[in-house]
Amino acid sequence: MKNNPPPTSRREFIKQTSTFAAASALAGVALPHVHAAPNSTIQVALVGCGGRGTDAAVNALSVKGGGTKLVAMADVFSERLESKYSAIKQRFATQVDVPADRRFLGFDGYMKAMDSLKPGDIVILTTPCAFRWVHFTYAIEKGLNVFMEKPLTPDGPSSRRMLKLGEAAKAKNLKVGVGLNSRHARHLQQLAERVHNGEIGDIILARGYRMHGPAAYFNSLPKPEGISDLMYQIQRFHSFIWASGGNFSDFYIHIIDHLSWMKNAWPVKAQALGGREYRNSPEGIPYVDQNFDTYSVEYTFPDGTKFYFDGRCITGCYDNFSSYIHGTKGSAIVAKSGDCGGPSSIFKGQTPKSADRVWTSQTPPGEDNWYQNEWNDLMDAIRNDQPYNEVERGVIVSTVTSMGRMAAHTGQEVTYDEMLNCEFEMAPGIEHFTMDSPAPVMPDKNGRYPVPQPGIVTKREY
């Protein structure tokens, strides 16, 4: 079931966006029938060879029915590019044809990788999200179908650009998948259908939690010698708000997305709190990243219903990674564990007791991997030339997520429209970055990067 219109309609969104010449020019250029024939091989290029990008490439090469081949790769770190190439090649020897001259290094590598494809092929965009609009622009120009990871944007200016680019992709009949895999988890699809059909009544509360120890690049020590500030920040992107939206956007977006889906609406405002509790390593060295250790957000839906989200990255505390919804006729466990781990269940009361359980999801055989499902669904749309464009939803949930993050970082109530139209661009000129470019944020004399100061810095996040 399709979500209700976002807080501002699509038409109003586009009116609010600033002029974006590249997307505007592309929007009027249609590419007829760039989809692949049922039995043809679809070539794939990978831009961003980290863990998520590598896994996405594996999913692309594992689609049901086969017919995919990896032919180009690009990254800004040579060791990572080569190691991931070797790992994928070892697993999919006959489906990987990426010789040295199609393994591209540097900030312009994305263009060279896409130049290796033909219209109707697929490019995987899995760099830190700050670069997403730049790479997506070129993919549209080349007539490529796209799979890109979440979040799509970290700030207002990039969100407005991505909305226009999503429309440009539609105008060219391109298929675009976004890595919000909850939407492709079959147990969540089953639950959403039941909830939207009224089985637990009107939704009166949503709750989401991601609380565990530090993960990924959540925190960072002072930059070592031998690497620039820019490359250090890209390498440890979860630690820097400009690159990824910080751990809030990258870690929490899945639960925010699927609870909004269950409600069938998007939050319109947020108030929040958070703080930096323990900011030294076990060796006593100060961490220098921009993240808070704890976040607690009260999102409000258009009808006044509340959605509470708690996030924490502290070792030794109670861990909880799950989500729930409550209605006037009952309640449900949405994700039992992790971003969208099943099964999902419905209960006749407000407490998830086994005696009160009235339904549990049943995932069809072979469809229990939601990462693979999203690729199978995208590939079906490409081969059958069906409409498939997840950009608008991806931008909306990225903006909703940023809204909660900004509320915590500024100590202010933030509305959706304020977040979307915020003029603070975290990485201006990113389309021109080179290996020698200065970083969007620079450390002080102690190696510390600027951090949010709620109540002091209130119009921007740092």
Q: For residue range 137-160, list pLDDT tens digits in order.
A: 999 999 999 999 999 999 999 999
Residue 13 pLDDT > 70, yes or no? no
Q: For residue range 98-115, list pLDDT tens digits in order.
A: 999 999 999 999 999 999
| Average pLDDT estimate for 260-279 | 95
Rounded to an integer, what distance in angstroms lies between the CA atom of residue 270 and that of residue 307? 9
Cβ–Cβ < 8 Å for 408, 271: no
Neighbours of 92 (CB within 10 A): 17
The residues, ordered by sequence, that sit 6+ positions from 313 with a Cβ below 8 Å of its Cβ are 212, 213, 214, 215, 218, 219, 247, 251, 291, 293, 294
Task: State the alpha helices, DSSP H only, in 32-175.
Answer: 51-61, 78-91, 109-115, 132-141, 156-171
Residue 396 pLDDT > 50, yes or no? yes
- pLDDT category of residue 38 using cuts at 50, 70 and 90: low
Cβ–Cβ < 8 Å for 332, 200: yes
Rounded to an integer, what distance in angstroms lies between the CA atom of residue 430 and that of residue 326? 43
Residue 18 pLDDT > 80, yes or no? no
Closest CA relative to residue 382, chosen from 47, 113, 41 = 41
Closest CA relative to residue 405, chosen from 290, 303, 319, 318 = 290
Domains and CATH numbers, the chain: 10-182+371-389 (3.40.50.720), 185-369+400-420 (3.30.360.10)
Q: Is the model's pTM score more than 0.75?
A: yes
Q: For residue range 162-205, list pLDDT tens digits in order.
A: 999 999 999 999 999 999 999 999 999 999 999 999 999 999 99
Residue 227 pLDDT > 80, yes or no? yes
244 token code pair: 């990824």
Residue 36 pLDDT > 60, yes or no? no
Q: For residue range 86-99, list pLDDT tens digits in order.
A: 999 999 999 999 99
Residue 430 pLDDT > 60, yes or no? yes
Cβ–Cβ < 8 Å for 340, 182: yes
Rounded to an integer, what distance in angstroms lies between the CA atom of residue 320 and that of residue 207? 12
Cβ–Cβ < 8 Å for 409, 424: no
